[in-house]
Amino acid sequence: MRRPAVIPKDGEMRIQYFEDSDTLYVVFKDAEVQESRDMDENTLVEFDAQGNLVSMTIEHARERTDVGNFSFQQVPAMKSVA
């Protein structure tokens, strides 16, 4: 499974799509990978020493996701009403 060599800046979440290999690579946090798990033959998930999710690689992404219609929206926290 292809794992890109691009390392995000501290605290930066990154999503990369490699059209030539149809691979989606999502980095959730900048941390050293301690464990890798194959979820199936086309999905690799990686964790840090505390068991936190570091990254996910998805092969055949166009068949398995809607990567062509990706969007991101950060929703602010709602203020509590007292």
The span from the CA of 82 to the CA of 77, in Å, is 15
pLDDT tens string, the chain, 82 residues long: the values are 545 545 545 667 899 999 999 999 999 998 999 999 999 999 999 999 999 999 999 999 999 988 888 787 778 888 877 6
Q: What angle do CA 50, 53, 31 make, to 5 degrees?
A: 70
Q: Kindly report the CA angle at 21 between 20 and 25, in degrees rounded to 5?
A: 110
Q: pTM for the complete prediction?
A: 0.75
Q: Are 40 and 32 in contact (CB under 8 A)?
A: no
Res 64: pLDDT: 92
